Amino acid sequence: LYVGWGTQKKYCIKANFVDSSHAINICSARLWAQMVEDRNENHAVEDAPNCGAVDGFPIMIVLNGKFFGLYTFNIPKDAWTYGMGNETTEYVVTAEAETQPTYFKADAELDGSDFKLEYADDNVSLSTIKTSLNNAINSVLNTSGEGWETTVNQYVDVNSAMDYMILISLLADDDGIGHNYILTTYDGVKWWFNAYDLDATFGNHWTGSSYLSVNHERTTLLGIARTMLIMHRIYNLSKSDLIARYKYLRAGIMSEENVYETLYNFAVRIPEEVRQADFSLYPTIPGTSTETLARIMDYYRMRCKAIDAEIASMENT
């Protein structure tokens, strides 16, 4: 159906009610996919669409001549999204709520109260998956000090966690701290971080009804480290690696120039007449007078200054 997706049977039509630009969820996911591709470490997602991140394109729905609004046609949360469906050791879980387990601070129940199972072979028991997930959490809980990465990397990919930390910090994704991220494993042992549900990025509140301060503390690198234990380990024990990766990404994938191109090359396909028709059809959509690409880019430029300053401060301590 779409370049790089292959022939599939399941898709998602997303209303993007909290983001009237219809751009930030897909564009944030595309930035994440570029980070995954740049690392080139999780080879299982090399053949998956958008490197295991959600992708999509804008559409309008017309049935029997009646306009039903503007949407995006997206990849679903399914096995093929992550290049899975071949092994019994492949699992996908989502962080459903901000809890001690999703902060990597306690064992998970994996019953939807903390994490929820999204995909596994029908022949694999939930207890087997739960044990694997808790082995990953406990590797973080029980390992600290010099050389921590060597131990934890057997169970959690530290580089994917680091990249996720940088992404949600620069995008001020408060809704992605201990919540909404996805963990995947291909061998039933080592788990990888994946960004998901990214329509509360660029300072957009998860309701779409307000915007976060560009200096929002909870989404600074330190703020994320205070909340999630694995990020605390990265911030305090792998600081030089975090700083180096941040600077590398800011010069390329997370530069203002690349973010601009990613946003505008997506939104250029949405005619203004269709946007206005959508607003008229659904007048209660928040942000219709404010959620422009200019607003998004202005916020990102200011946010970059704030986190750049945090990195500079980290270098001096």
Residue 3's pLDDT is what?
63
pLDDT tops 70 at residue 114: yes
The answer to whether the pTM exceeds 0.85 is yes
The pLDDT confidence band at residue 82, using thresholds 50, 70 and 90, is very high
Residue 1's pLDDT is what?
47
**What is the DSSP track for the chain?**
--TTT-S-S--EEE--TT-TTS-HHHHHHHHHHHHHHHHT--GGGTTSGGGGS--EEEEEEEETTEEEEEEEEE--SSGGGGT-SS-TT-EEEEE-S--TTTTTSS----SSSSEEEEE--TTS-HHHHHHHHHHHHHHHHT--STTHHHHHTTTB-HHHHHHHHHHHHHTT-GGGSSSS-EEEESSSS-EEEE----TT-TTB-TTSS-B--TT-GGGSHHHHHHH-HHHHHHHHHSHHHHHHHHHHHHTTTTSHHHHHHHHHHHHTTS-HHHHHHHHHH-TT-TTTTT--HHHHHHHHHHHHHHHHHHHHHHHT-
Give the pair of three-digit tokens for residue 251.
Answer: 């010069």
| DSSP-derived pairing of the beta strands 56-63 and 115-119 | unpaired
Q: What is the mean pLDDT of residues 138-161?
A: 96
pLDDT tops 90 at residue 47: no
Closest CA to 257 of 35, 88, 31: 31
The pLDDT confidence band at residue 2, using thresholds 50, 70 and 90, is low
Q: What is the mean pLDDT of residues 131-147?
A: 96
> Where do we find the tokens 């129940």?
109
Closest CA to 161 of 54, 26, 32: 32
Q: Could you tell me if 30 and 75 are in contact, meaning their C-beta atoms sit under 8 angstroms apart?
A: no
Beta bridge partners of 72: 14, 58
Q: Which amino acid is at 98?
A: E
Residue 146's pLDDT is what?
87
